[in-house]
Amino acid sequence: MTGLLNDAKACLETVFGFPSFRPGQEEVVQAVLDGEDVLAVMPTGSGKSLCYQLPALVRPGVTVVVSPLISLMRDQVGQLREYGVEAASLNSSNDPDENRRVQQSIRDGSLRILYVAPERLMLPGTVRMLRESQVALLAIDEAHCVSQWGHDFRPEYLELGKARAELGQVQTIALTATADVPTRSDIGSKLFDAPPRTFIRSFDRPNLRLWMRAKNKAPKQIQEFVAAHKGENGIIYCSSRRKTEELAATLAQAGHRALPYHAGLDPAVRHKNQDVFLQEDGVVVVATVAFGMGIDKPDVRFVGHADLPQSVEAYYQEIGRAGRDGLPADTMTLYGLDDMRFRRMQIEESGAPEERKRIERQRFNALIALCETPRCRRQALLAYFDEISSPCGNCDLCQDKPEVFDGTVEAQKAMSAILRTGERFGTEHLIDVLVGNMTDVVRARRHDSLPTFGVGRDRNAREWRSIFRQLYGAGLIYLDIAEFGRWTVTDEGRAVLRGAERIDLRKDVLEQSAKTKGKSKGAVPVADADTDLLAALKELRGSIAKRIRQPAYVVFTDRTLIEMASQRPASLDQMHHIHGVGQSKLERYGQTFLDVIARHG
If you write DSSP's letter for every residue of 309-326 in order, what string do you get?
A: -SSHHHHHHHHTTS-TTS
Report the candidate in 28, 39, 105, 98 with the shortest Cα–Cα distance to residue 70: 98
Question: Which tens digits make up the pLDDT trace of 556-590?
Answer: 998 899 999 999 999 999 999 999 999 999 999 99
Among the ranges given (159-168, 175-184, 330-339, 363-372), the one the predictor scored with the smallest mean pLDDT: 175-184
Angle at 47 between CA 163 and CA 68, to 5 degrees: 35
Give me the percent of the chain exceeding a pLDDT of 70. Answer: 94
Q: What angle do CA 540, 541, 542 make, to 5 degrees?
A: 90
Q: What is the mean pLDDT of residues 89-105?
A: 86
Model pLDDT, residue 150: 58
Q: Determine if residue 18 is left, alpha or beta; phi over 0 gives left, psi from -120 to 50 gives alpha, anything else beta.
A: beta
Quote the radius of gyration of the chain (alpha carbons, Å): 26
Q: How many CB atoms lie within 10 A of CB 437?
A: 17
Backbone φ, ψ for residue 125 (5° rounding): -65, -40
Average pLDDT rounded to a whole number, residues 262-271:
90
Percent of residues, the chain, with pLDDT higher than 90: 52
pLDDT score, position 512: 58
pLDDT category of residue 54 using cuts at 50, 70 and 90: very high
Q: How large is the average pLDDT for residues 192-208?
A: 91
CA pair distance 319, 298, nearest whole angstrom: 13
Q: What confidence tier does 514 reach under pLDDT thresholds 50, 70, 90?
A: very low
- Phi, psi angles (nearest 5°) of residue 259: -130, 140
Angle, in degrees to the nearest 10, between helices 491-498 and 408-420: 120
Question: What distance lies between CA 204 and its chain's CA centroid?
Answer: 12
**Angle made by CA atoms 203, 24, 176, in degrees to the nearest 5:** 55
151 pLDDT band, cuts 50/70/90, is low
If residue 97 lies in a helix (H) or strand (E), which one and from where to where? helix 96-107
Residue 548 vs residues 48, 279, 490, 552, 577: alpha-carbon distances, Å: 26, 11, 61, 10, 24
Per-residue model confidence (pLDDT) at position 482: 60
Tens digits of residue pLDDT in 449-492: 999 999 999 999 989 988 998 898 788 998 776 666 789 999 99
Tell me which residue of 147, 176, 174 sits closest to 44, measured CA to CA: 176
**Per-residue buried b or exposed e for 527-558, using 16+ beta carbons within 10 Å of the residue's own CB:** eebbeebbebbbebbeebbeeeebbbbbbbbb
3-class SS string, 176-241: ECCCCHHHHHHHHHHHCCCCCEEEECCCCCCCEEECEEECCCHHHHHHHHHHCCCCCEEEEECCCH
First to last CA, the chain: 47
Model pLDDT, residue 513? 46
User: Looking at 77-91, 344-358, 417-431, 560-574, which range is the least confident one?
Assistant: 344-358
Per-residue model confidence (pLDDT) at position 410: 96
Q: Is the pLDDT of residue 515 over 70?
A: no
φ, ψ dihedrals at 58, nearest 5°: -110, 0
- Pick the most confident of 238-242, 247-251, 266-270: 247-251
Q: Taking 60 as the threshold, does the pLDDT of residue 60 lie above it?
A: yes
Distance from C-alpha of 284 to C-alpha of 307, rounded to nearest angstrom: 17
Give the mean pLDDT of 419-442: 94
Cβ atoms within 10 Å, residue 499: 9
- Least confident among 92-96, 174-178, 237-241, 571-575: 92-96
Q: What is the mean pLDDT of the chain?
A: 88
Going by the DSSP 8-state scheme, the letter that residue 395 receives in this structure is B
Domains parsed from the chain with CATH numbers: 2-200 (3.40.50.300), 208-400 (3.40.50.300), 408-502 (1.10.10.10), 531-599 (1.10.150.80)
Is residue 467 within 8 A of residue 510, CB to CB? The reply is yes
pLDDT tens, residue by residue, 343-401: 888 888 888 888 878 878 878 888 888 998 888 999 989 888 878 888 999 999 999 88
pLDDT of 277 strictly over 80 = yes
462 or 256, greater pLDDT = 256
What is the rounded distance in angstroms from the CA atom of residue 39 to the CA atom of residue 185? 10
pLDDT at 583: 93
Whether residue 520 is predicted with pLDDT greater than 70 in this model: the reply is no
C-alpha distances in Å from residue 525, one per residue of 11, 200, 257: 28, 30, 24
